[in-house]
Chain A
Amino acid sequence: MRLWRWLADRWVMIVALLVLGYLALPILVVAALSFNRPSSRLSYDFNEFTVDNWRRPCATSDMCDAVVRSVQIGFLATVVATVLGTLMAFALVRHRFRGRSAINVLVFLSMATPELVMGTSLLALFVSAGVPQGFWTVVISHVVFCVSFVVVTVKARLAGMDRRLEEAAMDLYASEWQTFRRITLPLVLPGIVAAALLAFSLSFDDFIVTNFNAGTTVTFPMYVWGAAQRGIPPQVNVIGTAMFAVALLLVGLSSLRGRRARRTAAPVGQVEFGRDAGTR
């Protein structure tokens, strides 16, 4: 009886912990393997603890080249997709024009399209246009699928913004540009930053579309895919763990900032990480 009572009181918590464990387990395995000295090339057993992999992450030099290339591509694709997507979101939310609903559908279409289809069709496009595949075709194709996510994210933020704030700014002697710079941009910025982070992680991580359009260029996901045939070097786990740590750091910082902002002042309508965590 007491056990049942105990379970009844805590079952939500128990299920939540199990789900969280399920989600975290693969990451823990990667983190653990980054400290492993494998017994052979194709062995994934934990053999011996070492920090060598962390001390020399670029021991296999072509892997680090691939990482740098992926970061470059991710950065370029993110900048272009964020600028284009933000402009599109403003147009779609703020203006009524012919073909607006068609564009709304089109934006969703590119998210719904299977990556395989998008990869092959982009390849067909580049080949028929006579564009040689390589670094820049990868950037272009990443921009294509990132833009939709940026549009959707920024649109949500923009739609939740009170237009009267901009009217109030204009009423208080701010020109159109000053209104954008002082009111609109600061209020939409969290949405744009979220969109940029999303775009970067989508680009950095993409394999399928990239594989079709990369030519001889090798990105980090492509390197890992290739290495898996011959045995993955343990440094791959170092890169994976480091990426995860950076992401965790960013989320932590944003949460901390949000909490401080809430303590001194709760910005109206701002969505923050961990806002609902801890509520019962």
Chain B
Amino acid sequence: MTGMARDTPTGDLRLANLTRRFGTLTAVDDLSLTIAQGSFFALLGASGCGKTTTLRMIAGLDEPTSGQVLLGDRDIGRLRPYQRPVNTVFQSYALFPHLTVFENVAFGLRRRGIRPVDAEVNRMLSLVQLDGYGPRRPAQLSGGQQQRVALIRALVNRPQVLLLDEPLGALDLTLRRQMQIELKRIQTEVGITFVHVTHDQEEAMTMADTVAVMNAGGIEQLGAPADIYEFPATAFVANFLGRSNLLAAEAGGTSGGDVAVTAHGTRFSVPAGRSRADHGPVHLGVRPEKLNLVGSADQVPVGHQHVTGVVTDASYLGVSTQYLLRTGWGTELSVFAANTGTSARVAVGSEAVAYWDPRHAFLLPRDAVDTDPTASAPNEPVGASS
């Protein structure tokens, strides 16, 4: 698959102070980011966060109120969609119903006056295992097949940037997993910059090199999936990408490389390197799978910190068990115990101690009015926020 990318070096895709207003609503608010050439980039966010609007502005289907879309040194932000070396895989696929699969795929090549197109189109069809499907109409294909046609219809043009607008949203879970791996494989093969918009955090983490978590028209955090997950920047990110136990706490300054924290009358500490604030109101955060559950405080290993409570719920999920631990002050913590067979299950109603390694905790700044965000939705299963 060498020679897929266009010969001309393109450079990174840069969005500079991009803003889009619809009347009084600001969908995208002064957004700036750089997407490295050849990377798989995911824009992750809930619906209405501005991620699709951002994508449409890169494609040219929506015009920025202000700001620039730069490809290398060239500002493409005011070009018509057909003047940009950018192609899109639409959420609903948007295959042309009156054209055959072959003509759908050949559409872009023909519009640019490239012929013959047969070899190129057939090569793309076999790339996604659709050999022989050329004469069919889109309506005769399954959802997964339509999705693949939509992908190669864009890819065949060898764009400098490929935009994917939740292209897997309409597929069932098994097919979606399969397509995620396939998309990632194709991206590695063709080496084109992929910008993927999704609200599915697992999808973003599976495929992307870099994830930008969007909220209210701006970027909350940008980084490698593991970095964002392990050390979220805001309470929003902590709960959007996976789930977190966040305790409302007060930080009391750094001493000896640790930040001292008081939450609900108990003292904890967090390494300074994992703290985004060292005084005033903070969230003390620990991921549910980083908590361990034992029967009594003397079983807690040295150097770990703990909270005592009563187990109010235990959901056996096969690979793991999810516990809810009600602390003395009323907050419910979620604990995710991998079913390794080495530890006994804890019965509902019994007293238990949750402990963690301070190096797995993190501190986030908090508005003084916020209390424990985890207390509001304690029964939601971990990892189901997609």
- State the A residues within 8 Å of B (CB): 162, 164-165, 167-175, 178, 182-183, 186-187, 264-270
Selecting from B24-32, B137-145, B170-178, B279-287, the interface stretch reads: B137-145
Provide the bound-state CA to CA distance between A266 and B157, in Å: 27
| Contact present for A265 and B157 (CB under 8 Å) | no
Give the size of the chain B interface in residues (CB under 8 angstroms).
29
Provide the bound-state CA to CA distance between A165 and B91, in Å: 12
A167-B94, A187-B97 known; A173+B157 contact, CB < 8 A: yes
| Contact present for A174 and B111 (CB under 8 Å) | yes
A167-B81, A266-B139, A267-B139 known; A173+B94 contact, CB < 8 A: no
Provide the bound-state CA to CA distance between A169 and B112, in Å: 12
Provide the bound-state CA to CA distance between A267 and B96, in Å: 9
For B86, what are the chain A residues with a Cβ–Cβ distance below 8 Å?
171
- B87 near A: Cβ within 8 Å? yes
Identify 20 residue pairs between A and B in the complex whose beta-carbon atoms are under 8 Å apart, listed by A's number. Answer: A162-B94, A168-B88, A168-B90, A168-B95, A169-B96, A169-B107, A170-B61, A171-B81, A172-B82, A172-B154, A173-B108, A174-B111, A175-B80, A178-B111, A187-B98, A265-B137, A265-B139, A267-B98, A268-B139, A269-B97
| Contact present for A265 and B140 (CB under 8 Å) | yes
State how many angstroms separate the Cβ of B87 from the closest Cβ of chain A: 6
- State the B residues within 8 Å of A (CB): 59-61, 80-82, 86-88, 90, 92, 94-98, 100, 107-108, 111-112, 136-140, 153-154, 157
| Contact present for A170 and B81 (CB under 8 Å) | yes
| Contact present for A171 and B87 (CB under 8 Å) | yes
Provide the bound-state CA to CA distance between A172 and B112, in Å: 9
Provide the bound-state CA to CA distance between A191 and B59, in Å: 31
For A186, what are the chain B residues with a Cβ–Cβ distance below 8 Å?
98
| Contact present for B157 and A183 (CB under 8 Å) | no
| Contact present for B153 and A172 (CB under 8 Å) | yes
- Which B residue sits closest to A179, measured CB to CB? B82
- Which B residue sits closest to A172, measured CB to CB? B108
A170-B80, A170-B81, A265-B136 known; A164+B92 contact, CB < 8 A: yes
Known: A171-B87, A173-B108, A173-B112. 19 other contacts (CB 8 A): A165-B94, A165-B96, A165-B97, A167-B90, A168-B96, A170-B61, A171-B154, A172-B87, A172-B153, A172-B157, A174-B82, A174-B107, A174-B111, A175-B80, A178-B111, A266-B137, A267-B97, A267-B139, A268-B97
- Which A residue sits closest to B101, measured CB to CB? A265
Provide the bound-state CA to CA distance between A268 and B139, in Å: 6
Provide the bound-state CA to CA distance between A168 and B94, in Å: 6
- Which A residue sits closest to B113, measured CB to CB? A173
The interface centre, meaning the residue of B86, B108, B136, B157 with most chain A CB atoms within 10 A of its CB, is: B108
Provide the bound-state CA to CA distance between A178 and B113, in Å: 12
For B97, what are the chain A residues with a Cβ–Cβ distance below 8 Å?
165, 187, 267-270
- Which A residue sits closest to B136, measured CB to CB? A265
For A171, what are the chain B residues with a Cβ–Cβ distance below 8 Å?
59-61, 81-82, 86-88, 154
Provide the bound-state CA to CA distance between A182 and B103, in Å: 11
Provide the bound-state CA to CA distance between A167 and B95, in Å: 11
For B136, what are the chain A residues with a Cβ–Cβ distance below 8 Å?
265
For B108, what are the chain A residues with a Cβ–Cβ distance below 8 Å?
172-173
| Contact present for A175 and B82 (CB under 8 Å) | yes
| Contact present for A266 and B96 (CB under 8 Å) | no
| Contact present for A268 and B61 (CB under 8 Å) | no
Provide the bound-state CA to CA distance between A267 and B138, in Å: 8
State how many angstroms separate the Cβ of B312 from the closest Cβ of chain A: 47
Provide the bound-state CA to CA distance between A174 and B100, in Å: 17
Provide the bound-state CA to CA distance between A162 and B95, in Å: 10
State how many angstroms separate the Cβ of A181 from the closest Cβ of chain B: 11
State how many angstroms separate the Cβ of A176 from the closest Cβ of chain B: 8
- Which B residue sits closest to A166, measured CB to CB? B94
Provide the bound-state CA to CA distance between A278 and B100, in Å: 28
For A270, what are the chain B residues with a Cβ–Cβ distance below 8 Å?
97
The interface centre, meaning the residue of A170, A183, A268, A270 with most chain B CB atoms within 10 A of its CB, is: A170
| Contact present for A173 and B111 (CB under 8 Å) | yes
State how many angstroms separate the Cβ of A189 from the closest Cβ of chain B: 9
| Contact present for B138 and A268 (CB under 8 Å) | yes
Provide the bound-state CA to CA distance between A165 and B94, in Å: 5
Provide the bound-state CA to CA distance between A183 and B261, in Å: 63
- Which B residue sits closest to A261, measured CB to CB? B137
For A264, what are the chain B residues with a Cβ–Cβ distance below 8 Å?
137
- Which B residue sits closest to A168, measured CB to CB? B94
- Which A residue sits closest to B87, measured CB to CB? A171
The interface centre, meaning the residue of B97, B107, B137 with most chain A CB atoms within 10 A of its CB, is: B97
- Which A residue sits closest to B85, measured CB to CB? A173
For B112, what are the chain A residues with a Cβ–Cβ distance below 8 Å?
173
Provide the bound-state CA to CA distance between A270 and B138, in Å: 14
| Contact present for A267 and B137 (CB under 8 Å) | yes
State how many angstroms separate the Cβ of B89 from the closest Cβ of chain A: 9
Provide the bound-state CA to CA distance between A162 and B87, in Å: 19
State how many angstroms separate the Cβ of B99 from the closest Cβ of chain A: 8
| Contact present for A172 and B107 (CB under 8 Å) | yes
Provide the bound-state CA to CA distance between A178 and B96, in Å: 14
Provide the bound-state CA to CA distance between A182 and B104, in Å: 11
Provide the bound-state CA to CA distance between A163 and B9, in Å: 34
| Contact present for A170 and B82 (CB under 8 Å) | yes
A172-B153, A265-B140 known; A183+B82 contact, CB < 8 A: no
- Which A residue sits closest to B80, measured CB to CB? A170
Provide the bound-state CA to CA distance between A187 and B154, in Å: 21
| Contact present for B90 and A164 (CB under 8 Å) | yes
For A168, what are the chain B residues with a Cβ–Cβ distance below 8 Å?
88, 90, 94-96
Provide the bound-state CA to CA distance between A173 and B117, in Å: 15
A172-B157, A175-B82 known; A167+B98 contact, CB < 8 A: no
